[in-house]
Structure 1
């Protein structure tokens, strides 16, 4: 748990020991002791804390007495995988508290002082800048996924290994989660304006409207990307199915051709009278017959493009 302060007088984010009005409390993967401290010492509603740590929680706004909860879905990169997790922004008249189950770049961008123009005392502006950060990393990670997709598609052209197909399915699943998160976030941003759950100043309203436009543009980009991935997967499935049909035709043709001599010669293994059974040159006639049938079969299957 970090207690942070950034004011117009000291225009740099600093960690402090005691909480006062206008401070930001940042909580990442809290222990049970920290959860109890939030609930008992800072009087944060327990349901707000648990909702913020629930990885399945959807974007929403909630109010309990003088506390307001804003849950936003944000992207997280863990090694080579991309996840969508919720972050809870809890606000009262004096302070802002961010609660998240995992460390993430959306919050870390504040901690590295890469965000200009925000102060911990301006709770509405802080919330909007957090939304701006979320949109920034959605955009950045979508670009990374597009680059990964291009590489996987290139490998798929030269290989049909299961690893490439699994990689493509992982991308498809990830971009679907991105799409769902952007839709939920967009609905939340609209509610902030319509329901006036937090005081929106004129300058902040313009920022929020820009964030809504950014979200819609991102959603459009992700939708196109998702459709392209689905189309590619459908095309790849068709190619695999077509290759399987070609292989089955080839094997069927080969089986028929190889079985023709066996069918003919098996007749002469029966204990019944057959034509040329007593002829010492019968084997040569049978051999020529088998060869003729094989040549005819090869010609037939080549014409049918089975071979």
Structure 2
């Protein structure tokens, strides 16, 4: 899929490919592009096929290649988060690469999977505090939305962890362990991707050929700060998950012991009527056996013994 955008009165507007060729500032977004679409963009905007197709490999690492002259393209590859469902059915996040190709008057973004931060960028333009005036501004704002999406995803992961913590108090099965595994996979992926992105952001900050104006410098500084915040959140959540993983087996074992203790106590109480009934079922003379109300008295005696046993077990916290 190919989308073409430009700015009109500080707002993003959709245009066709012919209008994109003549627009002063244009953004071309490719999502899961086919080979024909890659060839089309490569020919129209003089971009190498390799740059456009490299992100189709989901495990590409973050990097930046600065153009040696203003006429040469600059390519920036970063990682972004995306919702996924784990094989066990839990909601998780994975990270995938996205390529930014910046040239004179245009920016091209290429991703192999839908990127939610692009939707946020297009829909929530009110959050853009400055007018989008050129291709570098496009890139800087999009990169900021990537880091913001990481923080948002980690906030949602924190909510999952809070829910998991409440579930641990009554855990008796392996479900909580599987949830921890799913969240740990997300955190490990995030930590690796954020570290990769941080290296690229540092390189961008140190380079004077890109994002060199004061407003854009501030934006990139905000990006770096947001990325560091996400790295700190991921590190903290990872450490908490390690503690969860260490204690979940103990919690499950203790909860199972409590269940077994209750079941054993109930079995003991239910055994009392069987014992008493067995004794009075013997073919010998027993106290009160010849009374008219013998059965009623026997039932009352059994109930009293069961009740006393229950109270004793309750007092000793077996029930």
The TM-score bracket by the shorter chain reads 0.7 to 0.9
Give the match for residue 295 of structure 1.
none
Superposed CA offset, 1:164-197 (max 9, x none)? 2111100011011111111111111110011335
Conserved in 2, the CA contact under 8 Å of 1:124 and 1:200? no
Where in structure 1 are there 5+ consecutive unaligned residues? 247-307
Q: How does 1:79-90 map onto structure 2 within 5 Å?
A: 80-90=91-101
CA distance in 2, matches of 1:164, 1:231: 13
CA distance in 2, matches of 1:198, 1:166: 45
Q: Structure 1 residue 153: deviation in Å?
A: 2.5
Q: How does 1:34-73 map onto structure 2 within 5 Å?
A: 34-63=37-66, 66-73=72-79
Whether 1:32 aligns to 2:35 is yes
Secondary structure of 1:214's aligned partner:
helix
Conserved in 1, the CA contact under 8 Å of 2:102 and 2:136? no
Whether 1:141 aligns to 2:140 is no
Give the match for residue 102 of structure 1.
113
Conserved in 2, the CA contact under 8 Å of 1:6 and 1:14? yes
| Regions of 4+ moved over 3 Å | 117-121, 237-246
Give the match for residue 4 of structure 1.
5
CA distance in 1, matches of 2:63, 2:202: 11
TM-score (norm 1): 0.72
Alignment coverage as a number of residue pairs: 244
Conserved in 2, the CA contact under 8 Å of 1:12 and 1:113? no
CA distance in 2, matches of 1:24, 1:132: 16
Superposed CA offset, 1:222-260 (max 9, x none)? 1111111111112224556789999xxxxxxxxxxxxxx
Conserved in 2, the CA contact under 8 Å of 1:73 and 1:85? yes
CA distance in 2, matches of 1:109, 1:100: 16
TM-score (norm 2): 0.70
Conserved in 2, the CA contact under 8 Å of 1:172 and 1:229? yes
Q: Structure 1 residue 74: deviation in Å?
A: 0.9
CA distance in 1, matches of 2:114, 2:136: 22
Secondary structure of 2:45's aligned partner:
coil
CA distance in 2, matches of 1:168, 1:229: 7
Whether 1:13 aligns to 2:19 is no
Secondary structure of 1:13's aligned partner:
strand
Conserved in 1, the CA contact under 8 Å of 2:105 and 2:134? no
Superposed CA offset, 1:7-41 (max 9, x none)? 4xx23211112222311111111122111112223
Q: How does 1:254-265 map onto structure 2 within 5 Å?
A: none
CA distance in 1, matches of 2:217, 2:66: 21
Give the match for residue 179 of structure 1.
191
RMSD over aligned Cα, in angstroms? 2.4
Q: Structure 1 residue 67: deviation in Å?
A: 1.2
Conserved in 2, the CA contact under 8 Å of 1:118 and 1:126? no
Where in structure 2 are there 5+ consecutive unaligned residues? 86-90, 259-319
Q: Structure 1 residue 121: deviation in Å?
A: 4.7
2:170 aligns with one of 158, 180, 188: 158
Conserved in 2, the CA contact under 8 Å of 1:22 and 1:120? no
Give the match for residue 204 of structure 2.
192
Secondary structure of 1:198's aligned partner:
coil
CA distance in 2, matches of 1:60, 1:202: 24
